[in-house]
Amino acid sequence: MLCAGLGLAWPSPVLVKLNNATETVLPRVITAEEGSWIVSIGFLAGIIANLLIGTTLIDLLGRKPFLILVCLPKFVTGFLYIYASEVWMLLLGRALVGIADAGIFTILPMYSSEIASSCFDVGTVTLQLSTSPFNLKIPGHKAEALKVLTFLRGSETQAKEEIAEFEKADEMNTESVSKKDLIKNRLFLKSLILVLTLGFGSQFVGFNAVSFYLQTVLESTQTSVRPEMASVTIGLIQLFASFCTTLVTDRFGRKPILSVTCVGMGIGMFGLGLFFKLKESGPVDGFMNYVPLISLILVVFCYSAGIGSLMWVLNAELFDGPSRGIGMSVSLVMTTLFLFLLTKYFAIVSLSIGPAITYWIFSVNCVLLCVFIMVCIPETKGRTFAEIQDILRGKKEENTKC
């Protein structure tokens, strides 16, 4: 995840240098069109990669081997960046990053949710990674699955109970294993609609558009804070926020944290819009010059502590075992498509309607996402996969209206 984060943050400082004739490593300054492709092409490549990951490779290779395999594109990308002398080399590097990140964001949440106990899941840190017991159960390696789960739980009795519960849920959902019949499975479709709406909302709250053009936004202010230092500071805040999430999620649950952080993002986006609106009327000085930085810190902290950290875990928990691989892959494909559209056209839309209106639209989207989470998303904290599926079926009470 650290490597994925570094890859996502890469365009922010690099675009500024590539647009500067004295600092660029290329023979010429890049065009606006080339800049938008450098930011977005990785997401387009990720969409294609996910079609293979979810339909074939995820169960064929297993979770752990595939997580190791995705390190290779990251390694190759490093050399491309070091020796890049043409735009196409940067584009190829960004495409490889997108392919690797597609694997990471599909498999890692799935792997984590499968090996973690229902009593202590999001905060679990596993240094000695073993193969997912539920992935072993798929090919029929029940004995090995029991061995792995006993190691993870520290109790053979608890491991046997969990495998028995998984087998019971698996038997209830045997019809959903067929990819052809998935579109007829109402439970799968309900889960899919929920995670796709979450994916759409997570992108159109505008965090990624802001983060990829972070230094460009900061350079529009007249503060004494250097954009490079502000970017590093915001990155550290993002790391701190993600760490905080692991400490508080199991205490407060997913829904309260997601709801509160969405409101926080909305306030931050409103602040950004307010600054650019005031700037349209004339020079901005004094405290107002620091409003963008304060707003960015609020947006980054809330996104990283909320939907940025919890969405993929929540997505994995909303699908049952047989359909989890396909559901997660479809979710990531569509979320990546939303992200591609956002990053490709953010700069164009911002120039057309103005940055103030653009950020205020993001602010409204944050509020709408908060309402959706409060009304439609079930709380998964401390619940097994079977219990979550019962809530979605309506067999167990939960405060959701969808």
Q: What is the pLDDT of residues 336-364, one digit of tens each?
A: 889 888 888 887 888 889 889 999 999 99
Q: What is the pLDDT of residues 75-105, one digit of tens each?
A: 888 888 888 889 999 999 999 988 888 777 7
Q: What is the pLDDT of residues 291-317, one digit of tens each?
A: 888 898 899 899 989 998 888 788 888
Which tokens is 284 given?
């901005």
Average pLDDT over residues 319-327: 75
- Tell me the three state secondary structure of residue 377: coil
Angle at 323 between CA 321 and CA 329, to 5 degrees: 115
Q: Look at residue 179 and tell me whether its pLDDT is greater than 70.
A: no
The chain-wide mean pLDDT, for the chain, equals: 77
Q: Look at residue 120 and tell me whether its pLDDT is greater than 60.
A: no
Domains in the chain, start-ordered, CATH in brackets?
2-129+173-393 (1.20.1250.20), 130-172 (no CATH)
Q: Look at residue 134 and tell me whether its pLDDT is greater than 50.
A: no
**Residue at token pair 């653009």:** 358
- pLDDT score at 92: 93
Average pLDDT over residues 112-116: 60
Per the CB < 8 A criterion, the answer to whether 291 and 274 are in contact is: yes
What percent of the chain is modeled with pLDDT above 90? 16
Task: Provide CB contacts within 8 A for 367, sequence distance 6+.
Answer: 262, 263, 266
- pLDDT score at 268: 94
Q: What is the pLDDT of residues 210-266, one digit of tens each?
A: 877 777 677 766 666 666 676 677 778 888 888 888 788 778 888 999 999 999 999
The more confidently predicted of residues 360 and 279 is 360
Residue type, 202: S
- pLDDT category of residue 128 using cuts at 50, 70 and 90: very low
- pLDDT category of residue 135 using cuts at 50, 70 and 90: very low
Q: What is the pLDDT of residues 49-73, one digit of tens each?
A: 877 765 566 666 666 777 778 788 8
